[in-house]
Structure 1
Amino acid sequence: MLGMVVGSFTSVSLDPPLIAFFPDRSSTTWPRIAKVGRFCVNVLSDSQERVCRALSARGDDKFGAIAHQPSFSGQPRIDGVVAWIDCDIYAVHDAGDHWCVFGQVTALDIESPSNPLLFFKGSYGQFAPLAISLEDVA
């Protein structure tokens, strides 16, 4: 079972529903996912740092100690995530030392009202709502 962690992920289009992420050209996992032609994005919760570290490690059995179920397309959907997004590969473009991978969304769901896990400046963290909203400033 294949899995990787990406640092940049974005929504692209609503019609058709597309997302994008940017795997490094040196990734050994991305070419294997590309051959499958589909993938499931798992938005990890702020309590899943251990899961993120396991998926970041080198090796083939990344899901051995991670509770998961098959998504609609048969890809790993990790238990306890904030959300998951099943995708077919729509297009892949050269992006310098990365690839720009577009995925067409085939299914998705919100699993948990948790906050997402963040990685910033070399550390894991949590989302903190702003103390002042734009409405308070106006």
Structure 2
Amino acid sequence: MTPSGPVGFTCQAFSALSLSPPQVLLCPGRASTTWPAIRSAGSFCVNVLAEDQAPLSDRFARAGGGRFEGVEWTCSAGGLPVLHGVAAWIECGLRSEFPGGDHTIVRGDVRRLGATPGSRPLLYFRGQYTRIAEPTADPDDPDM
């Protein structure tokens, strides 16, 4: 969140880093014009999109402003944008940054998080959106 409103981008690399203390890792491109605004704010919210939100991913991946226009969102307890319908959200404080080739490696301290029960995450693999495979019943597996 900036003084002029919310900013955001689709991040290609995001991961849990540590459980104790809870931390995440994300890697915005060094050419990003949005990351500097988020850096200045000192905090960010990772919105894990739900499997039906590919259009939002595409929208936030495009260069330029207006990404939040017409998009439903609310503020987290910490005042950060949480997009409507996401599978999960993770509010973080910026801990540190490191150079990583053509990306910046960002470490964030988790402050708050939430999830939508029953929601499944949007996945992007080998240049396309995909879904988590449904488990198949194995008649020989007593746990299925």
The TM-score normalised by the length of structure 1 is 0.90
Q: Offset of 1:129 from its aligned partner?
A: 3.6
What CA distance in whole angstroms lies between the structure 2 residues aligned with 1:96 and 1:132?
44
Amino acid aligned to 1:66? V
Q: Do residues 46 (structure 1) and 51 (structure 2) align?
A: yes
**Shift of the alpha carbon at 1:57?**
1.6
Superimposed CA distance per residue, residues 52-111 of structure 1 (whole angstroms, 9 cap, x where no aligned partner)? 111112222211121100112211100101110000001111112111101100000112
The yes-or-no answer on 1:21 pairing with 2:26 is yes
Mapped to 1, the partners of 2:75 and 2:64 lie a distance apart of 20
Shift of 1:132: 7.4
Q: How many residues of Structure 1 are paired with residues of Structure 2 in the alignment?
A: 135
Q: Say if 1:15 and 1:129 are closer, same or farther in 2 by CA, change over 3 A.
A: same
Separation (CA, whole Å) in 1 of partners of 2:65 and 2:126 = 27
| 1:100 lines up with 2:102 in the alignment | no
* Distance in 1 (alpha carbons) for counterparts of 2:20 and 2:51: 30
Structure 1 unaligned spans of 5+: none
Aligned to 2:3: none
- 1:8 counterpart residue number: 13
Alignment of 1:1-138 (within 5 A): 1-131=6-136
Distance 2:33 2:85 in 1: 27
Higher-Rg member (1/2): 2
| Displacement after TM superposition at 1:131 (Å) | 3.7
User: Per-residue deviation at 1:130?
Assistant: 4.7
Distance 1:75 1:69 in 2: 8
Residue pair 1:7, 1:22 contacting (<8 A) in 2 also: yes
